[in-house]
Structure 1
């Protein structure tokens, strides 16, 4: 098949990791795959003024290597503008991956392929034009949701929508680790983000509370933004680490903290568990579908709840922690991208035949 993905920008975001993985696997199976994106936004005068007031230079956008394997099959537009028919090859299928791209794909002629909308989040965010976002849920695109949460929320906004499930997975060739014992001292980790819904403050507060009882607690984090003065003391932080380093960061932890208020899926859940790291999580994204009490804990968004569980697990018998670690790995092992790609292809072929 000839398959085109339309993405907003080739960043390091988890949604792009999903698209890049599908694109790579589809191409490896002999399909003709194209990804089209816009360039990164230019730094605004306001951005530069903020950096000047802080007395720090404005850091460049972290480069994303996610689509390098596609070579010339990843096309970046000459400037930030909507994708139009002339930017895309004729294809059997074209897949939107974000609300703006859904608007663009809906306007394409039939020659660009049967139209799909990969729903990776419920994008009704305050900083977006929510009326336009909501309207995309009623567009005549076949919809694929990566989690039950997304499917159920979109159906609330567009009750007549038919939505199929296409759960995310994890690349076991990348995210894996051998069996291990719990570390000494205990190490917790989390993904850093300044997005309000990620609730990084909850992770910071949980660490601060846990350190009152576990003063030698070791803390690791990575993200795409620069370190700031509000980081916990002695935080080991890696900004935009090379992709091959990320599994090692997960595997260096005995617990992973997932503190989001809401998520479309939450890839770090599976990535951490694939690296044999149990997860303490809020009930966001796919966490209720993945965490069963044996491989981690679902917790209320309360730093004391996270802190208490960190302390409890720090005092577990080593064999109990090892059982949690093994259960986390087994959960991730049941979610492969090869199986997810089979499922995606099934939906695409079904639509083409209809």
Structure 2
């Protein structure tokens, strides 16, 4: 079977939604399917002249770097997966296929315009993407497009049903070869805490740091390790360790060093880092939102604590 994934642009840093798509691509080629991933700097359907011009300039610059500059370097993508870099996601730029899958609200608008030769149309929904900068009404309207919806979380399926839309629930999988317990929990520093740092307010990093300040007042020996794709924030105290763009090997080491991992997000479609940390044996303290408590309680280790309220900022 020929499968085409439509991704919004290219990323040089790890992003959870991209990781899920790339892993699907790897697994599908392992099953004998032909997989193509199409990426373009012009993600917005119906963009104005200025946006189209800027996107085309980006397309030419990256294309000039060579045939592999748009393949991810932060994740091993099977060489059998074809990656196409296109000036836009218009139908003429998309190969004929049996199945075509939109992976974000922007790409869903493009996929809805494709002729039948591009394949049966699906929409992989990994979050309610009203946070992404688009008009919220426009984002939500994509849920009613004539595409077969696949959601990664029960709360997203509930949202679809509330709109009168059907959606297939397929939870994200976990690879035990990628994340597992290397350091027994009893051998770890019980005062060592880990957290992902992200500049977006809805990721809750400031709330998490505020909570850790309160904990530190009671436990002065608290050790905190953060990691993220951004440069070290200037506001972080020297006592906080910060790792920029850790490799998968380094990330596994961090998860195996911390005794507790916290997830302070205000909203998550799934939330990969807490799940990965739990696979490595860390206890979890996560906000009671979306998918996080349900999936971790059911699928990960029993040693965890759900915080239902974070300190006011």
TM-score (norm. length: structure 1)? 0.74
Instruction: Give the CA deviation at 1:40.
Output: 9.4
Change (3 A) 1:26 1:72: closer
Superposed counterparts of 1:223-234, under 5 Å: 223-234=228-239
Size of the aligned set, in residue pairs, is 280
How far, CA to CA, are the matches of 1:276 and 1:147 in structure 2?
A: 23
Match of 2:145 among 131, 139, 153: 139
The DSSP-based 3-state class of the residue aligned with 1:137 is helix
Residues 259 and 301 in structure 1, CA contact (< 8 A), matched pair in contact too:
no
How far, CA to CA, are the matches of 2:246 and 2:296 in structure 1?
A: 27
How far, CA to CA, are the matches of 1:302 and 1:190 in structure 2?
A: 15
Change (3 A) 1:65 1:40: farther
Task: Identify the residue that residue 60 of structure 1 maps to in structure 2.
Answer: none
Change (3 A) 1:138 1:258: same
1:264 correspondence with 2:269: yes
Change (3 A) 1:237 1:24: same
Superposed counterparts of 1:1-354, under 5 Å: 1-11=1-11, 12-39=14-41, 64-66=73-75, 68-70=77-79, 73-78=82-87, 81=88, 83-125=89-131, 127-156=133-162, 159-178=163-182, 179-184=184-189, 186-292=191-297, 294-303=302-311
* Structure 1 residues 180-204: Cα deviation after superposition (integer angstroms, max 9, x where no partner): 4152362100011011111111111
The DSSP-based 3-state class of the residue aligned with 1:181 is helix
Mean alpha-carbon deviation: is it higher for 187-196 or for 242-251? 242-251
* Structure 1 residues 232-288: Cα deviation after superposition (integer angstroms, max 9, x where no partner): 432111111123221111111100000011111111121111111111010123222
Change (3 A) 1:197 1:238: same
Instruction: Give the CA deviation at 1:291.
Output: 3.7
How far, CA to CA, are the matches of 2:10 and 2:280 in structure 1?
A: 26
Mean alpha-carbon deviation: is it higher for 145-154 or for 257-266? 145-154
The DSSP-based 3-state class of the residue aligned with 1:261 is coil
How far, CA to CA, are the matches of 2:33 and 2:81 in structure 1?
A: 15
How far, CA to CA, are the matches of 1:221 and 1:76 in structure 2?
A: 33
Higher helix proportion (structure 1 or 2): 1
The DSSP-based 3-state class of the residue aligned with 2:130 is coil
How far, CA to CA, are the matches of 1:127 and 1:301 in structure 2?
A: 27
How far, CA to CA, are the matches of 1:220 and 1:19 in structure 2?
A: 28
Query: Could you list the runs of 5+ residues in structure 1 that have no partner in the other structure?
Result: 43-62, 305-354
The DSSP-based 3-state class of the residue aligned with 1:169 is coil
Mean alpha-carbon deviation: is it higher for 33-42 or for 222-231? 33-42
The DSSP-based 3-state class of the residue aligned with 1:115 is strand
TM-score (norm. length: structure 2)? 0.83
